[in-house]
Amino acid sequence: MAGAYQSPVSLLHGVGEERAKAFAGLGINSIGDLLEYFPSRYEDYRVRDLTEVKDGERVTLAGTVYGEPSVRFFGKRKSRLSVKVVMDRVVVTAVWFNQTFVKSRLSPGKEILVTGKWDKHKLQITVSEMTEVDSERATKRGELAPVYPLGGDVTHTLLRKTIQQALRQYGKEIPEILPADIVERYRLMPRKDAFHSIHFPENAEDGRQARRRIMFEELFLFQLKMQTLRKINRQQTEGVALAIPMEEVREFVKGLPFPLTDAQKRVVKEILDDMRAPHAMNRLLQGDVGSGKTVVAAIALIAAVKAGYQGALMVPTEILAEQHVQSLTKLLSDYGIQVALLSGSLTAKRRREVIGSLQMGLIDVVVGTHALIQEDVFFSRLGLVITDEQHRFGVEQRRILRNKGLSPDVLFMTATPIPRTLAITAFGDMDVSTIDQMPAGRKPIETTWKKHDQFPAVLEQMRDELRKGRQAYVICPLIEESEKLDVQNAIDVHAQLTHIFPEFGVGLMHGRLPAKEKDAVMQAFLAAEHAVLVSTTVVEVGVNVPNATYMVIYDAERFGLAQLHQLRGRVGRGSEQSYCVLIADPKSEIGKERMRVMCETTDGFELSQRDLELRGPGDFFGTKQSGLPEFKVADLLSDYKALEVARQETVKLVAEDSFWRDEKYHWLRDYLKNEGVLDGVVLD
């Protein structure tokens, strides 16, 4: 079948050069592409009983023409054709609009099937399709007809007919590629039966079982690829088993000014176990804003340094780098660990000093921006690489930093809580650690939703906070006024608030400012020279201003829940009660629901799950950079249990020696080869 799968679709009878071009427009080039062009839904042509049909429903009814049809004309080109039809001993009126040509086919006594919208009160069906029972075209009686995404000159009739022919010709050759024990254990339909049934189901249950089989296969193959990549990564990047002096690490943890949460203890164990193992760590650490990821990173760094290695922490902005240097110095300096900053703003002299000290091993931990991956930066003995807000860096940037050591352990950190469904999909080749618990005593941020006309009252509440010596953020979605979007923009709001709060400094920050100006504005806010900071979402990542207790987010309906939560996390970082006000006038029910959800919970993981449900996987990460696979049948939300099962099964499978040798798995190995996963790989 592999050969037939790759054969051009033009081999099928009736598919000439022109039709092959039309199919190519749908991405159908081979017979395999055709067989795997699955329907998105089905039209239900099963004949219904009148007693069970609801008003306004689309139905197919069977009956006998009773009497002569009549036509009425109105307007220039409009017509109404009607005829009485006896259905279930009830006389029903069948109506066609602007289809007078049907009249000749409606002779009394003729049996017909009509599909259309049912009007229960008038006992009338407005017909969209008709089939004569005694004709060859009466194939729709009792059928679920597949509906496909179409384009160009390809019609449903042509597509169905061509798929039917391909199944007749090649259907028996469709191989079973899933292991027999998995097919049996999960009671999956055999593959060739599933391909027939998903295109032409005999009944609804037949179609459901076919979809279930193909959905599981998609998720299984994807997870097989992820787990194989993970195995290859571990096998080929042997790494170093760090001899961590655990007593010194425990001493450091005991000396912290606060106890670790149970979640922090769990992820610390997972990370240290990885660092002591002979393979290179490849782990994602995710935790909500304020959950204590920095302390976990500090424990990992002290473990690496005490084992005789250097650590590097790469962050997306200079301000964040400086804040990390301050916090890590405070935590690590008493233990004889040298922490240094490497960023673009350093003087040439200081930069040379840092690079030289790194190379000589005089610096234990370096924190920096992308300056860390420049060509002239070398390490003496790099053992641990931590990337904060890892989605902000490209794969290539992360790879360059990793290559500056001999297979160092790598820890990716993110404060964007990712639902487990997406974490095991988008990051399936990584191990995932989650801090799903907040430190005790943290005050939840009070979140409220206000309409635009309530803004004056919001300003008064903000003024009360500012008078207490606190600071505030005002977030806007746009920089300048736009003709296309009627939303508040940062420049206008800055001018407005400068006028309203003349006694308080008001700063302005947005993405178009040069990096130095951005840093200057942020430093002024950190130093409390500005009481209010008007900003676009550039303030989202990691900035820590404990004195900021008030946030206003303009046109909040234009942000996703995950992003709103990230923005909200800029306040509530000190001991005082903090507030977040969402200014929004959402028009849709989904928009209103998102505002309500934001006010109900401050749990980032719960919000991320709701965001996923409301917006879908593509929009959650941003469609272009999501890294999520596009499945033909599977759905990450509704099929998340099957995704988990597929992951568990493939983890076991790739760990078995027999998988890489046994003939019964050759289809799966061929799939991995075709996907390029095994290029240049020699597996033990």
| pLDDT at position 485 over 70 | no
Q: Across residues 484-496, what is the average pLDDT?
A: 76
| pLDDT at position 283 over 80 | yes
Give tens-digit pLDDT for 316-356: 878 788 888 988 999 998 999 999 999 888 889 999 999 99
Q: Cβ–Cβ contacts within 10 Å for residue 37, how many?
A: 20
Quick one: which H or E segment has residue 303? helix 293-306
The structure tokens 């959905």 sit at 215
- The pLDDT-based confidence of 52 (bands split at 50, 70, 90) is confident
CA-CA distance, 501 to 521, in Å (whole number)? 18
CA-nearest of 62, 117, 63 to 95 is 117
User: Under a CB-based contact definition with an 8 Å cutoff, are residues 578 and 443 in contact?
Assistant: yes
pLDDT at position 236 is 63
pLDDT at position 421 is 62
Q: In whole numbers, what is the pLDDT of the chain averaged over residues?
A: 84
User: Under a CB-based contact definition with an 8 Å cutoff, are residues 135 and 154 in contact?
Assistant: no
CA-nearest of 85, 126, 130, 81 to 103 is 81
Question: In sequence order, what DSSP letters do the residues of 27-74 get, joined into one string?
Answer: T--BHHHHHT---SEEEE--B--GGGPPTT-EEEEEEEEEEEEEEEEE
Q: Which long-range contacts (CB under 8 A, 24 or more apart) does 661-664 make?
A: 664/179, 664/180
325: CB partners within 8 A, 6+ apart: 339, 340, 341, 367
Residue type, 587: K
- The pLDDT-based confidence of 188 (bands split at 50, 70, 90) is very high
- The pLDDT-based confidence of 138 (bands split at 50, 70, 90) is very low
CA-nearest of 394, 250, 388, 254 to 311 is 388
| Pairing status of strand 144-147 against strand 41-44 | antiparallel
pLDDT at position 487 is 55
CA-CA distance, 679 to 9, in Å (whole number)? 29
CA-nearest of 449, 672, 413, 417 to 555 is 449
Q: Across residues 79-84, what is the average pLDDT?
A: 92
pLDDT at position 537 is 78
DSSP lists the bridge partners of residue 97 as 80
The structure tokens 């006309």 sit at 453
- The pLDDT-based confidence of 147 (bands split at 50, 70, 90) is confident
CA-CA distance, 679 to 684, in Å (whole number)? 15
Give tens-digit pLDDT for 429-470: 678 888 888 777 678 899 999 999 999 999 999 999 999 999
The structure tokens 């806010």 sit at 525
List the alpha helices (DSSP H) in 452-588. Answer: 455-467, 490-500, 515-526, 561-568
pLDDT at position 252 is 94
555: CB partners within 8 A, 6+ apart: 476, 477, 487, 488, 583, 584
User: Under a CB-based contact definition with an 8 Å cutoff, are residues 59 and 53 in contact?
Assistant: yes
- In degrees rounded to 5, what are phi and psi of residue 626? -65, -35
pLDDT over 70 for what percent of the chain? 87
Q: Cβ–Cβ contacts within 10 Å for residue 676, how many?
A: 9
CA-CA distance, 88 to 302, in Å (whole number)? 82
Count of residues making up the chain: 684
Q: Across residues 537-555, what is the average pLDDT?
A: 81
Q: How far is CA 123 from the centre of its chain?
A: 47
Give tens-digit pLDDT for 612-635: 777 655 554 443 334 456 788 888
CA-CA distance, 669 to 681, in Å (whole number)? 12
Q: Across residues 155-167, what is the average pLDDT?
A: 89
Q: Across residues 285-295, what is the average pLDDT?
A: 85
Quick one: which H or E segment has residue 274? helix 262-276
Beginning with the edge strand found earlier in the chain, give each strand of the sheet holding 365-368 in spatial order.
339-342, 365-368, 310-314, 382-388, 409-414, 282-287, 431-435
CA-CA distance, 75 to 567, in Å (whole number)? 58
10 Å CB burial of residue 99 (0-12, 13-18, 19+) is: middle
The structure tokens 């204590």 sit at 292
User: Under a CB-based contact definition with an 8 Å cutoff, are residues 414 and 283 in contact?
Assistant: no
| pLDDT at position 426 over 90 | no
Q: Which long-range contacts (CB under 8 A, 24 or more apart) does 173-178 make?
A: 173/1, 173/4, 174/1, 174/35, 175/1, 175/2, 175/667, 176/667, 177/217, 177/667, 177/668, 177/671, 178/216, 178/217, 178/220
pLDDT at position 312 is 92
- Alpha carbon distances (Å) from 342 to 225, 302, 379: 37, 19, 13
CA-CA distance, 131 to 139, in Å (whole number)? 9
Residue type, 337: I
